[in-house]
Amino acid sequence: MKRREFLRNSLMGTAGLSLLGFPFAAQARPKNKKLVILHTNDTHSRIDPFPSDGRANGGMGGMARRASLIKQIRAKEKNVLLLDSGDIFQGTPYFNFFGGELEYKLMSQMGYDAATLGNHDFDNGLAGLQKQLPHASFPFLSANYDFSETILKDKFQPYKVFVKDELKIGVFGLGIDLQGLVGADMYGKTLYLDPVVKAKEMVKILRDEQECNLIICLSHLGYKYDTDKIDDRKLAAQVGGIDLILGGHTHTFLEKPDAIISPGGEETLINQVGWAGINLGRIDFEFSTEGKKKGYAAAVLPVHERTAISS
Amino acid sequence: MRFHFFKIVLLSLGLGLSVSCQRTWHGEPALQKTMLGVTATIAPDAQAEKTIAPYRAQVTKQMAEVIGVVPVALEKLAVESPVGNFVADLQRIQAEKLTGKPIDLGLMTAGGVRTPLRQGNLTVGDIFELMPFENELMVITVPAVVVKQLLNYASQPHIYPLAPKTLSTSNVAYQILNNQPQNILIGGQPFDSTRTYTIALSDYLAKGGDNLEFITNQVSSQKVGLLLRDAIIKHIKELTAEGKPVEAKIDGRVQVIVPNTPVEPKQ
């Protein structure tokens, strides 16, 4: 009798649930999910490690080692996003000889999910960039360069939404003002648009329309300037809703990610891992369904392990 | 029984609603190393190595060629930079050879010269590191006011004491007093504000790069048909062919005069 009653109740319960249309209710309380974000910036064509000849960073870096490290992490982690914040080009003869072909091929093999454009990625002009794009299996995201009057029209998206384990991660890209930094004939009719305005637009789309669980900005604006020039810290302070800014351009080695209180009171993390592929950045996010994101004081910040960087 | 049914429906309803409300996943950064060193302890990935190998073979072969000898390292220093002097001078010399005309000045910025030249054998690879950019050597003709603006800029206190910002000039001598250039000599002749001057430089600087916007005030400009890096390699090969080493000194072409300090004769 008891058993039959149990069965009947269960069936009724299930029927009731189906009628009411709550598919998630059938599951037990969901376990937490984990996302591993790996990132680089300003890798500057450093295919091989710096020579060990007493120079700064001697023996560090190397893309084949980076590929190994990424494979090791992928072997242990289910949800990995691999991102780059620009300036993939320029710095070694590999770029002078092959124009970035090998850099893109290796990054494609490593399974990069997205990158943004740095100023040096324009060093061989728009045609030089266009020529190498077929070697990249990953998209370049740029929300504040307008290429519509150039040969690169429709080649880049402002953002991309990645789905990992049912988590939606919105990633968008921001580039630095090219005027004065890159030869005008190199970037041609590429327009630089206000990064703050575009970032607000991106957050609105990614939060409200795409309903992303996490928003990442790939930025080549630079970490910090003492002038009025826009940087990652000013961006975080002016635009709410970005969870993480992965920066570049200033070749900054951050001991741990910066946490900035953004409009709305939530924190935005900023990270940057130097240059030349000396380091691979890693930030893990734990996702739960319990409550809102915690404020600054309660946040557990990732820690930095001092690495053996010779200088 | 009826009671049970309702209880379960209510329970389910409650559960359903609560899950519905909590359906959004919230991310929190987790305690984790955030900078992983790409060090020699990590074995290179075999697939990546295989992809790199043919490219590396080509690069190595060309980069390893020894083109000269450096007896004393050419450092990047403030005010006068030996490596900056070397490049500014060779730009002018090579531009003269290629155009067949005398050139008044050579100009290079510290940011344009990426590394010092280390003591020892000098390879093509070293020159690629010194000058990684695909800049072209060119000659511009400017009104005298541009030369004055250039030296004024070079004499600003935020420029000359800092090696990363130093301007290197060739065939020019001047003193910096109270952040102003004094006693300017160009090719040994006093600065003449009524004439034009020719400057050998990179196309990057000619377009006003490194904050030299004023330099775009040009009467004419001419590309000499050589990448700046190739001009450097050519110059070093010529020195070697003549049996000369790669040398550059701080030769007093720029002197900073400290005001109200009488110069004491050396004992």
Over the stretch B73-118, which tens digit does the pLDDT of each residue have? 999 888 999 999 999 999 999 999 999 999 999 999 988 888 899 9
The mean of the pLDDT values for chain B is 88
Say if residue B194's pLDDT is above 70: yes
Farthest CA pair distance, chain B: 115
**CB-nearest partner of A90 from B5, B30, B132:** B132
Q: Please name which of B97, B194, B206, B101 lies closest in space to residue B150, comparing C-alpha atoms.
A: B206
B120-177 tens-digit pLDDT: 999 999 999 899 888 899 999 999 999 999 999 999 988 888 877 889 999 999 999 9
With CB atoms and an 8 Å threshold, state whether A94 touches B25.
Answer: no
pLDDT in tens, A199-253: 999 999 999 999 999 999 999 999 999 889 999 999 999 999 999 999 999 999 9
Cα–Cα distances (Å) from A98 to A62, A133, A248, in that order, read 17, 13, 23
Residues of chain A above pLDDT 90, percent: 71
A128 within domain boundaries: yes
- pLDDT for residue A179 is more than 50: yes
Determine, for residues A305 and B1 on separate chains, whether the beta-carbon distance falls below 8 Å. Answer: no
- Asked whether residue A298 is domain-assigned, the answer is no
The span from the CA of B181 to the CA of B151, in Å, is 6
CB contacts of B216 in chain A (<8 Å) are none
Residue A150 pLDDT: 98
pLDDT of B267 > 90? The answer is no
Nearest-CA distance B233 → chain A (Å): 14
Shortest distance, CA B157 to any CA of chain A (angstroms): 18
Q: Is pLDDT of B255 > 90?
A: yes
Select the residue of B29, B62, B204 nearest A285 (Cβ to Cβ): B29
Tens digits of per-residue pLDDT, A99-143? 999 999 999 999 999 999 999 999 999 999 999 999 999 999 999
Calculate the average pLDDT of chain A. 86
- Beta carbons of B34 and A49 less than 8 Å apart: no
The mean pLDDT value for A64-79 works out to 96
What's the predicted TM-score (pTM) here? Answer: 0.73
Q: Pick from A41, A33, A110, A82: which is nearest to A270 by CA? A: A41
Q: Are B89 and B104 in contact (CB under 8 A)?
A: no
Give the pLDDT of residue B223: 86
Q: Does the beta-carbon distance from B33 to A302 stay under 8 Å?
A: yes
Q: Which residues of A touch B22 (CB under 8 A)?
A: 289-290
Q: Are A32 and B31 in contact (CB under 8 A)?
A: no
The residue of chain B with its CA nearest to that of A14 is B12
> What is the rounded CA–CA span in Å between residue B189 and residue B144?
13
Cα–Cα distance for residue pair A69/A38, rounded to 1 Å: 10
Q: For residue A278, what are the CA distances in angstroms to A183, B125, B166?
A: 28, 20, 28
Q: Is the pLDDT assigned to residue A70 strictly greater than 90?
A: yes
- Asked, for residue A118, whether it belongs to a domain, the answer is yes
Cβ separation A106–B52 shorter than 8 A: yes
- Check residue B83 and give left, alpha or beta (phi > 0: left; psi -120 to 50: alpha): alpha
Contact (CB<8Å) A302/B34: yes
User: Closest to A106 (Cβ–Cβ): which among B33, B42, B48?
Assistant: B48
Instruction: Give the residue-averaged pLDDT of A247-275.
Output: 93
Strands A80-84 and A114-115: parallel
Cβ of B34 and A16 within 8 Å? no
pLDDT at residue B2 tops 90 = no
Contact yes or no for A24 and B203 at CB 8 A: no
Contact A160/A114 with Cβ under 8 angstroms? yes
The reply to whether residue B33 touches residue A287, judged by beta carbons under 8 angstroms, is no
Tell me the average pLDDT across B178-185.
95
**In this model, does residue A271 exceed pLDDT 90?**
yes
Task: Kindly report the CATH number assigned to the domain that includes residue A94.
Answer: 3.60.21.10
CB contact at 8 A, B141 and B197: yes
- Looking at the 3D structure of chain A, how many domains does it have? 1
Is B26–A213 a contact, with Cβ atoms under 8 angstroms apart?
A: yes
What pLDDT was estimated at residue A288? 87
CATH architecture of B58-249: Alpha-Beta Complex (3.90)
From the candidates B26, B115, B135, which should be mutated to test the interface with A, based on the most A CB atoms within 10 A? B26
Q: Chains A, B: CB contacts under 8 A, how many?
A: 234
Please give the DSSP secondary-structure letter assigned to residue B165: G
Torsion angle defined by CA atoms of residues B40, B46, B47 and B48, in that order, rounded to the nearest 10 degrees: 20
Higher pLDDT residue, A153 or A8?
A153
Residue B261 clears pLDDT 80, i.e. is over it: no
pLDDT at B29: 86
Domain that holds residue A153: 35-287
Asked if pLDDT for residue B11 goes beyond 70, the answer is: no
Three-state DSSP string of A244-265: EEECCCCCCECCCCEEEECCCC
At position A260, the amino acid (one-letter code) is: I
Closest alpha carbon within chain B to A73: B36
Q: For residue B161, what pLDDT is reported?
A: 83
What pLDDT band is residue B260 in, cutting at 50, 70 and 90? low
- Chain A residue numbers touching B55 (CB-CB < 8 A): 47, 94, 97-98, 102
